[in-house]
Amino acid sequence: MDDRSIALLILAIFGFYISRLWLRLAPWRNELPFKSLFASGFALVVAIFAKQLQWPASLDYIAFALAGLFILLPYGLYLLVRTRAYNSIKGLVNVLYWTQGGRDTLWNLLAQAALQQGDVQGALALGEKFSDNHLLYLQAYSLEERWRELLSLRLPEKGDSRFLALSARAKAFIELGDLENAREELLEMEERFAKEKGPIAHRSITLTQARLYAEEGNFERCKQTLEQPLAFTHPYQPLEILARAAEQNRQLSTAQQLYQQAYLIAPKLNRPSLAKKMLGLGFALPKIELPKQSYATYALLGLISCCFALQLGLERNYDAAIPRVIAAFILNIPTPEAKAIWRYLSYAFIHGGLLHFGMNMWVLADIGRIYERRRHWGNLLTSFVFGSIMGAYITSIAQAGDQLILVGASGGILGIAGALLADSWLDEKRRDPLLLRSLLQWMAIIVIFSISIPGVSLWGHVGGILGGLLWGFMRQGLPQDKNIDLGVGLISLGLTGYVLVMMVLFYQRYHGIFQQLIP
């Protein structure tokens, strides 16, 4: 497969994954999931068969255009809700979708995204565009704590909307002190769940059951209920429910700690409600710290980008293989200094092509910023170095008899992801079930890609994950001292500098050989 075919394959798989979300909102015949499924299927067929059957190259461009319009753009609109650019969103929806059913489904989805951010007015502004918005008003009244008005609204008849509405009504009854009616709503959800299973239904039942345990002061049962990851749930919500359980059980110090954790991670528009509860109990509001800047992530992105630019220059002047000879991790291929120890890290600074480079930088920008904001920059750089070294080491063991050239930063990036996984798994203060589940799903997809796509290093990726986990677990066992973070960061920085110097010296030493390759 060439770069374009691999890119289309990635878009197709992402499209099928996103379509699962759309299908929770509407049947496949609805315009929103239908266009997404069609674009995904078309991209998959072109990626697999276009080169083999020598189809016209224009099909590649058509597949990319359809994927951009009906896979990436709808998902981008979902993310764009966070910026509250509602006028732009409305215009794009009208351009992309032409039937009332397709538009209604997307309006509903975007309104739900606004509600997740606590933006009731934005959700209602989006909701004006679709015809059946009773569920939206139920959820909006719930966020505004208008419980009696909520109970007067009509409920949707079936599907996920029914579960969401029943969950909102149960919460209203609980807030009004009517636990008996709340249990009746829970009972209906449980009876429907036998026929209409799904992540939304499961979430609605779990949160309602947890809220009932909380009101009863049953802290342990509430905690056990909320231990499982819940789809489409902001992490602050389980903490708020558990804090209520501690409050009802008179565990006031625990309740204060949990309320403060929920307050710190809650969307800005949800904080006033939490503040009201905390101040009513005499709890102090925690100080909101500005997010840490991701300077090390950006510096690493810049360094790898500069190396890739130099690589492109060498490829243009000499030969495509030259940069790989200079820096790659090499097994069983006659090459000067092929077994040099610095190659266990140097290979992370060159790439197999523009797509390879672009995908790695995209993931590094995403994963790196998350980890650096949770941990010191020294941990970020150390996990990258550990992941890169372990990626090469595991490859050297698993493929000891093969001839191969290993390039790319993905081992180091998966090292960061592995360290983030360990951090979100072991650190109780920073534990994030949704992040944990997302990382595990993403790593599983990476392994599947590594197995199914020729030329992608499975053991380099597995080694990167193991290296990151190794560092993450080691860091948890060390004292939480910034001097340690600074020390390991400086060591990793020194190793990186040493490797870059050795790459330059290697090039200078064998420059004459490279010069002979010029046409």
For 405-414, the pLDDT digits (tens) are 899 999 999 9
What would the mean pLDDT of 471-492 be, rounded to a whole number? 89
- Phi then psi dihedrals of residue 101, to 5 deg: -65, -45
Mean pLDDT of the chain: 86
What is the mean pLDDT of the segment spanning 150-177? 88
Helix (H) or strand (E) holding 405: strand 404-406
pLDDT digits (tens, 9 = 90+) for 366-393: 899 889 988 889 999 999 999 999 999 9
**C-alpha span between 31 and 96 (Å, rounded):** 10
Mean pLDDT of 505-515: 77
Query: What percentage of the chain reaches a pLDDT higher than 90?
Result: 40
Looking at per-residue pLDDT, the higher value among 363 and 233 belongs to 363
Give the Å distances, CA to CA, from 180 to 48, 147, 171, 235, 240. Answer: 57, 16, 12, 28, 22
Residue 375's SS3 state is: coil
Distances (CA, A) of 446 to 121, 403, 410, 455, 462: 39, 23, 10, 13, 9
How does DSSP classify residue 404? E
Closest CA to 286 of 304, 259, 312, 268: 259
pLDDT of 518 above 60: no
Q: Which of 103-107, 161-165, 399-403, 499-503 has the highest mean pLDDT?
A: 499-503
How far is the CA of 421 from the CAs of 367, 384, 501, in angstroms? 11, 14, 32
Q: What secondary structure does DSSP assign to 306-365, as a single string?
A: HHHHHHHHHHHHT-TTHHHHHH-EEESS--TTTT-TTHHHHGGG--SSHHHHHHHHHHHH
If one compares 235 and 452, the residue with the highest pLDDT of the two is 235
Q: Name residue 404's beta-bridge partners.
A: 331
In the predicted structure, residue 515 carries a pLDDT above the cut 90 = no
Find all residues with CB under 8 Å of 222, minimum gap 6, and list them: 210, 213, 214, 241, 242, 245
Tell me the two tokens of residue 138.
């139920």
pLDDT of residue 391: 94
- Sequence-distant (6+) residues with CB within 8 A of 394 are 459, 460, 462, 463, 466
pLDDT band at 516 (very low <50, low <70, confident <90, very high): low
pLDDT higher at 154 or 257: 257
Q: Which of 136-140, 332-336, 468-472 has the lowest mean pLDDT?
A: 136-140
Cα Dmax for the chain: 86
pLDDT digits (tens, 9 = 90+) for 16-53: 888 887 887 778 889 989 999 999 999 999 888 877 77
Angle between helices 86-96 and 73-80 (to 10 degrees): 160
Per-residue pLDDT for 204 more than 90?
A: yes
For residue 221, the surrounding DSSP H or E stretch is: helix 219-226
Q: How far is CA 97 from the centre of its chain?
A: 27
pLDDT of 434 over the 80 cut: no
What per-residue confidence (pLDDT) applies to 314? 82
Which residues, at least 6 apart from 176, have a Cβ–Cβ distance to it below 8 Å? 147, 148
In the block, residue with structure tokens 């006028």: 87
Q: For residue 464, is pLDDT > 70? A: yes
Beta bridge partners of 406: 329
pLDDT value at 507 more than 50: yes
* pLDDT over 60 (residue 129): no
DSSP string, 176-197: TT-HHHHHHHHHHHHHHHTTS-
> 330 forms bridges with which residues in the sheet?
405
pLDDT, greater one: 214 or 266: 214
Per residue, the 3-state secondary structure of 7-63, as one string, reads HHHHHHHHHHHHHHHHHHHCCCCCHHHHHHHHHHHHHHHHHHHCCCCCCCCHHHHHH
Dist. CA 348–CA 460, nearest whole Å: 11
In this prediction, residue 519 has a pLDDT band, given cuts at 50, 70 and 90, of very low
Per-residue H/E/C for 81-106:
HHHCCHHHHHHHHHHHCCCHHHHHHH
Q: What is the pLDDT of residues 248-278, one digit of tens each?
A: 999 999 999 999 989 988 888 788 889 999 9
For 300-352, write each residue's pLDDT tens digit. Answer: 999 999 999 988 888 877 666 677 788 889 998 888 888 899 999 999 999 98
Q: Which one-letter DSSP state was computed for residue 71?
A: I
Q: Which one has a higher pLDDT value, 78 or 211?
A: 211
- Six token digits for residue 418: 């592995």
* C-alpha 513: how far from chain center: 45
CB 214 within 8 A of CB 222: yes
Q: Residue 310's CB: how many other CB atoms inside 10 A?
A: 16
The percentage of the chain sitting over the pLDDT mark of 70, rounded to a whole number, equals 93
Give pLDDT, residue 498.
95
Q: What dihedral angle (degrees, nearest 10) is formed by the CA atoms of 366, 369, 372, 373?
A: -120
Q: Hey, which residues does 329 pair with through a beta bridge?
A: 406
